[in-house]
Amino acid sequence: MSTPAPASLSSSAKAALSIGALGVVFGDIGTSPLYTIRECLHALPAGEHVAAVLGVLSLVFWSLILVVCVKYTVLVLRADNRGEGGIFALLALSQLDRPGKSVLNLGVITVLVGAAMLCGEAIITPAITVLSATEGIKEVWPEVDHYVLPITITILVGIFAFQYRGTKFICEIFGPVMLLWFAVLGGLGLWHIVKNPVVLQALNPLLGLHLLIGHPKEAAVILGSVVLAVTGVEALYADMGHFGRRAINLAWYTIVLPGLVLNYFGQGANFIAQGGNVANPFLALAPDGPARLALLALSVAAAIIASQALISGAYSLVRQAVQLGYFPRLTIKHTNPDQPGQIYLPLVNISLALGSIATVYGFKSSSALAAAYGIAVTATMIVTTLILFIVMRRAWQWSWWLAGAFCCFFLVIDVTFFAANLHKFADGGWLPVMIALGLIAIMTTWKLGKTEIFRRIYANEVTEDELNNIASSTHITRVRGTGVFMAGNPTGTPLVLLHHVKANRVLHETVVLLSVTTDEVPVVDDATRFSVREIGHGVWRAVGRYGYMESPDVANLMEKVRAAGVPLKLNEATYYFNREMIITGGDTRMFEWQKLFYAFLSRNARQARDYYQLPPMQIIEVGLPIQL
């Protein structure tokens, strides 16, 4: 749900919104200092200690400037769909799946790849952030090294176990904790920069270029680690609807960016001062003793918050996919009546939990996990740039050369980072790819199957005039009560009604054909949400429209139907649904494995009766065999 326009908020409200964004939007990118410099320094060429450190810092700094500042805060955040962001907002703005287009054209597939990679990132992020934070225990108590994995898994179990409570009960401390986190990051970094200001030379972009040109063999390894500094950048766009572009930009430029840059440079300064004898550059910023223990505790808290942000983002992403017809219906629970965007999806939560725990157990170290992280992040960045080009052309009406110049520049950066991570495929980069392939198989199969079923079954040719003739026929007995027939097509006649009339030769006195549609906007205006009209002879058609960030409320729709003058008693209405029974072996343009897979998904998807949250005693389902 979009927040009020920033211009309408007071200065204190804007500040509060920006602090709130620290805990949700910047949790992931804000915990990158835990592991980024450490991974970069592992790849340093021997014999050029100071020059190599300065080159790495230069690459990190200019990656933050070009990728986050220029690409995302200046351009991508402008691509909002009525205040909402995220990969599916780009899909809507690009008009790639509008009526008349191929169901799964190249542009749609590209968006689905980006969405799938983001889900993969949501599995890996809790694992790498919590694991990298708890690995700091080895610096404080080396003898408890073997407890790192159990502690990490315990924290992850706790994180996912409390998801059903929603973020409301802890979100009030998210912002202040992350504000403290960035203050500590900046303060520790500045302390070491003052002691060793030579690192300020890294502001020169040529140092980074010289490092890459002078060491082509190590270039891929170095860039593959540098990209970890911008992990979580997609959260700026995905969570824009909750905070607004101005609040996100304010938090980034005044708190997050200064804190990150100072900390990265401080780690480099301390590394140089210690002659490279530093196992954990982040924890080494704090003096040994209570200060280091406090920093360790704070880093674990920040890692938990970063995990929460990506988990919540996955819930929103999957719900958008469900609403747009790219994912089977799932149980969606609202955890905060005041904030429709705060939702909980039990099946998604279990999947993320099992995936994250299995990832930690399988990789055992954050350094090994970093290999899997880079491919997911860079692939999503490429997708965002490609779809942004289409948005620039179609939605913003930019010229070919201007849109092409911007996007080609960013595409060079994105592809370079992606290519630099390809060598990690065998070491763990296969993980997000496998996750993405599985999700893409689900989304494409579900979309193709539902489209084919709609074309063959629901888009029937029984017109409203013919339905009027059926309702007025003397061969049909009208009985007391109300029958609500769920219609997939807002202009056609639901097949369940035709089956009901054919089998029973009866029809209720009041018949409502109810359609629930999802528009490619986040939230539908109340003025256009509902429409109802009389077809004739006691038959009415009602249509409820929702955005992809909303969950349908059929009970509320029926209240509106009654208020519009339709004679019915809600507690006596009977709701009729089709129950699809998929049979393979037909001539549908789908691979045989897709038909079998769709049948499996259809059997296990949440039934429409549950999705619409209707009283079970008022529902009748009619079996509908369909051969694909």
pLDDT per position as a tens digit, 559-586: 999 999 999 988 889 999 888 888 888 8
Residue carrying structure tokens 């909002």: 80
Checking if the pLDDT of 140 tops 80, the result is no
Same domain, 162 and 295: yes
Residue 128 or residue 230, greater confidence:
230
The domain that holds 171 is classified in CATH as 1.20.1740.10
pLDDT of 248 strictly over 70 = yes
Same domain, 438 and 467: no
Alpha-carbon distance 5 to 19, whole Å? 17
pLDDT-derived band at 371 (thresholds 50, 70, 90) equals: confident
The torsion angles phi and psi of 17, rounded to 5 degrees, stand at -65, -40
Helices and strands of the chain, counted as H and E runs: 25, 8
Residues 289 and 384 in one domain: yes
Give residue 341's pLDDT.
65
Mean pLDDT, residues 265-289 taken together: 89
Whole-number Å distance between alpha carbons of 54 and 32: 18
Query: Binning pLDDT at 50, 70 and 90, where does residue 86 land?
Result: confident
Tell me, what DSSP letter sits at residue 482?
E
Answer yes or no: is pLDDT of 21 > 60: yes
Asked if residue 247 and residue 196 are part of one domain, the reply reads yes
Last residue of a domain, one of 448, 473, 507: 448
What is the 8-class DSSP label of residue 2?
P
- Residue 48: its pLDDT value, please? 65
Q: Within a domain: residue 301?
A: yes
- Tell whether 191 and 242 lie within a shared domain: yes
Over its C-alpha atoms, the chain yields an Rg (Å, rounded) of 27
pLDDT of 448 over the 80 cut: yes
Choose the weakest-confidence range: 74-88, 99-113, 315-329, 354-368.
99-113
Same domain assignment for residues 498 and 427: no
**Quick one: 377 exposed, middle or buried, by C-beta within 10 A (0-12, 13-18, 19+)?**
buried
| CA gap 360, 354 in Å, rounded | 10
Task: Give the chain's mean pLDDT.
Answer: 86
> Is residue 453 included in any domain, yes or no?
no
Task: Say which residue, 471 or 262, is predicted with more confidence.
Answer: 262
Whether 455 maps to a domain, the answer reads no
Which pLDDT value is given to residue 100?
57
Residues 38 and 94 in one domain: yes
Output b/e per residue, 530-566; b: 16+ Cβ within 10 A: bebeebebbbbbbbbbbbbbbbbbbeebbebbbeeeb
For residue 454, tell me if it sits in a domain: no
In a domain, 296, yes or no: yes
Q: Are residue 523 and residue 589 in the same domain, yes or no?
A: yes
Q: Is the pLDDT of residue 338 over 80?
A: no
User: Do 175 and 78 reside in the same domain of the chain?
Assistant: yes
CB atoms within 10 A of CB 389: 20
The residue with tokens 């200092």 is 33
Average pLDDT over every residue of 39-59: 82
Query: Could you tell me if 271 and 49 are in contact, meaning their C-beta atoms sit under 8 angstroms apart?
Result: no
**At CA 1, angle to CA 13 and CA 330, rounded to 5?**
145
CB 560 within 8 A of CB 533: no
Residues 369 and 467 in one domain: no
Mark whether 367 and 498 lie in a shared domain.
Answer: no
Residue-number span of the structural domain to which 366 is assigned: 6-448
Instruction: Identify the residue with better confidence: 1 or 213.
Output: 213
The count of domains in the chain is: 2
The DSSP call for residue 167 is S
pLDDT at 8 over 60: no
Task: Return the higher-pLDDT residue of 34 and 279.
Answer: 34
User: Looking at the domain assignment, is residue 543 inside a domain?
Assistant: yes
Residue 261, pLDDT score: 98
Evaluate if residue 10 carries a pLDDT over 90: no
* Residue 93 covered by a domain: yes
Sole residue written with tokens 């808290």: 301
The conformation of residue 332, written as its DSSP 8-state character, comes to -
- For 365, 484, 543, the CA distances from 481, given in Å and listed in that order, are 64, 10, 21
**Do residues 77 and 262 touch, judged by C-beta distance below 8 A?**
no
The residue among 422, 448, 474 that closes a domain is 448
Domain boundary among 390, 418, 448: 448
> Same domain, yes or no, for 260 and 375?
yes
Task: Give the model's pLDDT for residue 5.
Answer: 41
Q: What is the pLDDT of residues 516-568, one digit of tens each?
A: 988 878 788 888 899 999 999 999 999 999 887 787 888 889 999 999 999 99
List, for residues 379-413, the tens digit of each pLDDT value. 999 999 999 999 999 989 999 999 999 999 999 99
Largest Cα–Cα separation, the chain: 96
Residue 7: count other Cβ atoms within 10 Å of its Cβ: 8
